[in-house]
Structure formats: C-alpha cells, structure tokens
C-alpha cells in the first residue's frame, strides 16, 4: 500500500526551548502537555500562557500541535477538565491525545479538535481501530507491541480516513503499552496519572525474608544484582522505507523529558532520512549515516523491539541503566554576523581554545573545525568557556543560523 501524502514526523516538546528546536530541525508536528492530564508530570510542560505562545509559534511555522491528555483518570482527576478542553479549543490546538473513554467523550462534546487515541489505549488490532473510528477518532497511535506485519495489516484494514501513527524511536516500557503499576506499588507515584518513577530501570536483588540484609544476585552480571526490566531503546531509522510504503501516516519520536540537544540530533536525523526516501536516495548507507548521527546524542543501546519478532533477552540491558554519551553539547548559536563572521555562542558545557568541534544545523551534513579564537562579552581573549550559559564570541567563516548547535567528541 502506498500513501500519497508524505509521512508526518512528530517530535516531543517538553518546554519552549525544545519546541523551538523541534521546529528548526524539521518536525511536521509536536506533541506536548499542559499542566494537567498528561503522562509526563515531571516534564516542565506548558502553562496556559505558554500554550498560547507555543501554538502561535508552531502554526507560524506550519507545524501542528498535539496536546497529550492521556492519563487514566480517577474522578478527582477530572476537576477542571471541561474548562481546559474549551481553552484548548479556543487556542486552536490541532489534536488531543487521549486514552480514556471518559475524556474522549467530553472532548468530543466540548471541542472541534481532532482526537487521537493514545498508545496507552493498547490498540493492537483492526477491530479496535474501526471501533475508535466509529466513535469519532481521527487517528490511532498503535501499541508498541506490534510487529511490522501486524502494523501493515492494521493499516490495510483501517477505514480510509483513519490515520495510523506508530512509534519509531525512543524509550521502551517493560509494561504493555506503558500501563504500569510498578511505580505505584514501589513509590506511591502513579505512572498512569503522569508520575512514573522509572522503577523498571532500577537494580534488583533477592532477599530471603528470614535473612534481612543478605542480598542474593539474580544471575545476569554476577555482581550482586541485575537490571532485569531495563529495555534498550527503539530505533527504526533503517526501516522507514518499509513503514512509509505500508502507508503509515505519522512517525512518533518519544522523549518529552529529553534535552534540546537530543531533540535536535534525533529529529534532524529522521528528517534527513525521510527526505532522502522521498528524493529516491534512501539506502543502507544513508540509514547508517543518520544512525551514527543519532548515537551522538545521549542514548541507551538500541533495539528493533517487536518489529520483526517478539523481543528476547538481547533487547534488554542487564548490566546497568546508564546512558551512553559519546559527545558533549557545548553550545548553541544565538546570532551570526555575516559581515564580521562573528558567531555569538551560548555556552552549555565547558570547552577550550584548540578544541576540535562539530557544528550542525538542519542540513544533511555537519561541519568540523578547530576553535582558534574566543572572546568574552568584554572583548577579552579567553582560553576556556566555563561559565554556564555565558555568551562567547568566535569568528567562524562558515555561515551559521540561530539555533545551530556545537558538539565535541568525548575522548575516552
């Protein structure tokens, strides 16, 4: 099946900086949350004034805004829901991401916004897609537990005007479609109401009840414990051609808690890969190029998860829950004077005169250079930029734009 409409690249936006980053680096749409009803209570999120600004900024750049309202609410969580829905309708958000039928019903009654069914609703079959279509949903975000063959079958059987979205990159959850009770049980923080404590990433051992303080390893690493529920991250950049040709309408990148550098790196890579597909140049070499780019942001090891088979032990990380960090994000461009060729850089991590760095924008390639000059705001020559977010001035012959990013490989 071929979809004549180009696939949407849907990016996470945890705050205004990450929203601006997602727009600059090629997102067609962003998903974000207000102060309530979303599943990332610990993200910065957007208050009402920020939501108004976010929607305007996105729409000015032809980017759609999807607002997450995908908690599984109790009655006391519903307070203020109708008023909030009417507010979102008034500022013309493009879609609501919903998992609960009660919220869905109220959203349908009180707004004219497109309604998308969250992955939290665990949609895994064509009949459920048809059910939500009949209820008035515009799009279904498929459960991450489907194989490629199952995704193709669901899309083939879906009503013609029903959009299908799937996750293509980001963290996986040990629980089915993220519907987890571990956090609630262990910390009292309800993952299904936006307050996950990431209990699946912890290190576990066994303790026999009559021998308190004596811990027995769960034999995976032999060092007194194991991360038995710690999944690798999903990465399907080399499979985008198959999913586009299957007619998938939207590719979702997980990560509203991730940094602007992560958003820039990952969105840019998928944007370039998708554009390469439509230009007829996508191949294994292109996929490898942007896979390597993705690995320059902090990440876990990658897996294809359920794409071809049910995941086995190779999709897990038993040794630790640490991220892999190969590059430091050292700065972002605030301004560039084309006449003097002076770039104003906002420092993000310490860097030095003589450092070899890479600069990347929303273009296919990055640029390498060695820092041979630096000045502070007083015009003084400096050898190190070590003050958080200080403005540094560097003469760079390469034309730069606001929001371009500087990174440096970590020497190990």
Q: Residue 126: which CATH number?
A: 3.20.20.70
Q: b/e map of 125-154 (b: 16 or more CB within 10 Å)?
A: bbebbeebbeeebbbbbbbbbbebebbbeb
**Which has more pLDDT, 120 or 36?**
120
Residue 218 in this model has a pLDDT that exceeds 70: no
Question: Do 365 and 296 share a structural domain?
Answer: no
Lookup: tokens for 340: 């003097």
pLDDT of 70: 87
Q: Is the domain of 299 the same as that of 389? A: no
pLDDT digits (tens, 9 = 90+) for 319-341: 565 678 999 999 999 999 999 99
Last residue of a domain, one of 277, 293, 315: 315
What pLDDT, on a 0 to 100 scale, did the predictor assign at position 318? Answer: 53
Query: Is the domain of 286 the same as that of 369?
Result: no
For residues 296 and 348, state if they share a domain: no
Total structural domains in the chain? Answer: 2
Distance (Å, whole) CA 97 – CA 78: 16
- Residue 201 domain-assigned? no
- 383 domain-assigned: yes
Among 315, 340, 358, which residue terminates a domain? 315
- Of 55-64, 67-76, 260-269, which gets the smallest average pLDDT? 67-76
Task: Please check whether residues 283 and 360 belong to one and the same domain.
Answer: no
The mean pLDDT of 50-58, rounded to a whole number, is 98
Distance, CA of 291 to CA of 338 (rounded, Å): 33
Segments of 237-309 assigned E as strands: 250-253, 302-303
Beta bridge partners of 164: 140
- 268 and 364 share one domain: no
Question: 52 with 123, same domain?
Answer: yes
Q: Residue 357: phi, psi to the nearest 5?
A: -130, 170
CA distances from 370 to 267, 390, 395 (A): 26, 20, 11
CA atoms within 13 A on the CB side of 314: 7
- 77 in a structural domain: yes
> Angle at the Cα of 190 (from 18 to 198), degrees rounded to 5?
60
Rounded to 5°, angle at Cα 182 from 179 and 184 = 90
Query: What's the pLDDT tens digit per position in 370-391?
Result: 999 999 999 999 999 999 999 9
Q: Decide if 268 contacts 360 (C-beta within 8 A).
A: yes
Do 308 and 339 lie in one domain? The reply is no
pLDDT in tens, 94-108: 999 999 999 999 999
100 versus 2: which is more confidently predicted?
100
pLDDT of 228 > 90? The answer is: no
pLDDT band for 12, please (50, 70, 90 cuts): very high
Give residue 216's pLDDT band: very low, low, confident or very high (50, 70, 90): low
Q: Report how far apart, in Å, the C-alpha atoms of 411 and of each of 185, 262, 290, 326, 408 are.
A: 41, 20, 21, 8, 9
85, 26: one domain: yes
In a domain, 208, yes or no: no
Mean pLDDT of 43-52: 87
More confident residue, 199 or 273: 273
Give 166-212 pLDDT, tens digit per residue. Answer: 999 998 766 656 555 666 656 666 655 556 666 665 666 666 667 67
What is the predicted pLDDT for the residue at 305?
85
Cross-strand bridge partners of residue 309? none
DSSP one-letter string for 278-289: HTT---HHHHHH
Residue 125 belongs to a domain: yes
Whether residue 222 is contained in a domain is answered as: no
The verdict on residue 203 lying in a domain is no
Q: Which of 315, 336, 364 is the last residue of a domain?
A: 315
Q: Is 145 inside a domain boundary?
A: yes
DSSP 297: S
Contact yes or no for 369/396 (Cβ under 8 A)? yes
Model confidence band, residue 310 (pLDDT cutoffs 50, 70, 90): confident
Residue 111 confidence (pLDDT): 98
Looking at the structure, tell me whether residues 21 and 148 fall in a common domain: yes
Task: Say if CB 334 and CB 402 are below 8 A apart.
Answer: yes
Query: Can you give the residue range of the structural domain that contains 368?
Result: 327-409
Residue 172's pLDDT is 73
What's the pLDDT at 163?
A: 98
Query: CB under 8 Å to 13, separation ≥6 — which residues?
Result: 19, 22, 30, 31, 32, 54, 256, 263
pLDDT band at 35 (very low <50, low <70, confident <90, very high): confident
**Are 248 and 394 in a shared domain?**
no
Instruction: Work out the end-to-end distance of the chain between its first and last CA atoms, rounded to an integer number of angstroms.
Output: 47
Q: The domain that contains 360 carries what CATH number? A: 2.40.30.10
What are 127-181's pLDDT values in tens digits? 999 999 999 999 999 999 899 999 999 999 999 999 999 999 998 766 656 555 6
129 and 14 within one domain = yes
**DSSP SS3 for 23:** helix
């Amino acid at each position: 099946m071929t979809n004549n409409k180009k696939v949407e690249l849907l990016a996470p936006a945890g705050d205004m900086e990450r929203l601006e980053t997602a727009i600059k680096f090629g997102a067609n749409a962003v998903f974000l949350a207000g102060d309530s009803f979303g599943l990332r209570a610990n993200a910065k999120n957007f208050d009402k004034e920020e939501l108004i600004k976010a929607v305007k900024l996105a729409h000015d750049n032809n980017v759609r805004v999807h607002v997450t309202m995908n908690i599984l609410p109790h009655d006391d969580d519903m307070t203020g829901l109708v008023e909030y829905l009417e507010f979102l309708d008034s500022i013309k958000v493009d879609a609501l991401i919903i998992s609960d039928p009660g919220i869905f019903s109220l959203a349908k009654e009180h707004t004219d916004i497109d309604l998308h069914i969250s992955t939290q609703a665990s949609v895994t079959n064509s009949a459920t897609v048809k059910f939500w279509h009949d209820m008035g949903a515009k799009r279904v975000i498929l459960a991450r537990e489907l194989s490629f063959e199952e995704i193709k079958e669901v899309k083939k059987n879906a009503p013609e005007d029903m959009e299908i979205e799937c996750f293509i990159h980001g963290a996986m959850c040990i629980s089915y479609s993220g519907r987890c009770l571990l956090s609630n049980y262990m910390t009292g923080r309800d993952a299904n109401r936006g307050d996950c404590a990431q209990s699946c990433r912890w290190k576990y051992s066994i303790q026999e009840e009559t021998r308190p303080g004596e811990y027995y390893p769960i034999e995976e690493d032999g060092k007194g414990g194991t991360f038995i529920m710690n999944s690798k991250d999903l990465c399907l950049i080399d499979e985008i051609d198959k999913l586009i040709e299957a007619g998938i309408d939207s590719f979702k990148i997980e990560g509203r808690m991730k940094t602007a550098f992560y958003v820039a790196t990952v969105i840019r890579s998928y944007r370039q890969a998708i554009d390469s597909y439509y230009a007829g140049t996508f191949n294994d070499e292109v996929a490898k190029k942007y896979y390597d780019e993705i690995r320059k942001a902090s990440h876990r090891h990658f897996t294809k998860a359920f794409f071809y088979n049910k995941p086995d032990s190779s999709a897990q990380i038993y040794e630790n829950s640490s991220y892999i960090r190969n590059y430091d994000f050292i700065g972002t461009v605030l301004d560039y004077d084309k006449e003097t060729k002076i770039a104003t850089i906002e420092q993000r991590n310490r860097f030095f005169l003589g450092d070899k760095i890479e600069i990347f924008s929303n273009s296919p390639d990055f640029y390498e250079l060695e820092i041979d000059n630096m000045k502070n705001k007083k015009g003084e020559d400096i050898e190190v930029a070590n003050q958080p977010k200080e403005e540094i001035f560097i003469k760079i012959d390469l034309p730069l734009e606001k929001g371009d990013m500087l990174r440096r490989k970590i020497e190990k």
